[in-house]
Structure 1
C-alpha cells in the first residue's frame, strides 16, 4: 500500500481538482480557478520548509522563534519551467547570523520537498532574525 494517495480530475479546460485525504486543491495552468502548478510547487516548498525551520531551531536549542515567514519568488525559463527559487526567511526571534545559518542548514536536511527537488532548483535562502 502507498504512503500517499491522491486523485486528480479535470472535467474540461486546464483546471484540475486534487483530492488529498479530506482536502481538495484546485490547480489551474491558466491561473483562473486556482494557482498554477509552478506557483503551487513554490508554495508547497515554502510550506514544508517553514516547519522544518521550527524543528531545526528546536534541535539547536531555540524553542521560541515567534512568527516565522517565508517570502518566496521563482524564475521561469523560456519553456515556463522553474529555473530558480529564492526564499527570504524572516524570524521574529533575535538570532545571530551564525545561529540562523545553523537553523537553515538543519531545515534543509529536514524538509522533504527540499530533498525531492533537483539540486539546482533548491531555494537560495536569505534569513533575517529579529524581523518582526
Structure 2
C-alpha cells in the first residue's frame, strides 16, 4: 500500500475532483472557474509545506514559539502557463535574530515540496521576523 493514495476524476471539461487518502476532497480547475488551477494549488501547497518546515527549523535553533507565520506567494508563468518563478515573502511574529537566514535555509531543506521541485523553481524567500 502506498503512503499517499489519490483518486482524481474529471467528468468533463477541465475541472478535476480528487479524493486524497479516501478522506480529503480537492477541486482543481485548469481554467480557475470552479476552483484553483494546478499552478495555484502548487503555490499554496508549497507555502503550506514551508510554514511547518520553518517552525521545525526555528525550534531546532532554540525558538520554541515563533508566533504567527504568514507567507505571501508570488508565482510567474511563462507564455505556455508553466511556472517560471516563485517567490515567498515570509512574515514571522517573533524575531529570529541572527539565526534568521540559517532557519530559512533549514526550512528549505525540511520542506518536502521544496525538495520535489527542480532547482530553477525553488522559491526565492524573503523573510521578516519580529513584525
Runs of 4+, deviation exceeding 6 Å: none
Deviation at 1:62, TM superposition (A): 0.4
Residue matched to 1:74: 75
Indicate the SS of the match to 1:26: strand
Please, what is the CA RMSD of the aligned residues?
0.7
Question: In 2, distance between residues paired with 1:24 and 1:113?
Answer: 20
Question: In 1, distance between residues paired with 2:28 and 2:121?
Answer: 21
Indicate the SS of the match to 2:7: strand
Question: In 2, distance between residues paired with 1:29 and 1:78?
Answer: 15
Deviation at 1:100, TM superposition (A): 1.3
Q: Give CA deviations for 1:74-121 in whole Å, capped at 9, x if unaligned.
A: 00011100000000010000222x321111111011000000000010
TM-score between both structures, scaled by the size of structure 1: 0.96
Pair 1:52 & 2:44 matched: no
Residue matched to 2:84: 83
Question: In 2, distance between residues paired with 1:126 and 1:102?
Answer: 13
State the number of aligned residues: 130
Residue matched to 2:122: 122
Indicate the SS of the match to 1:54: helix
* Structure 1 stretches lacking a partner, 5+ long: none
Residue matched to 1:18: 18
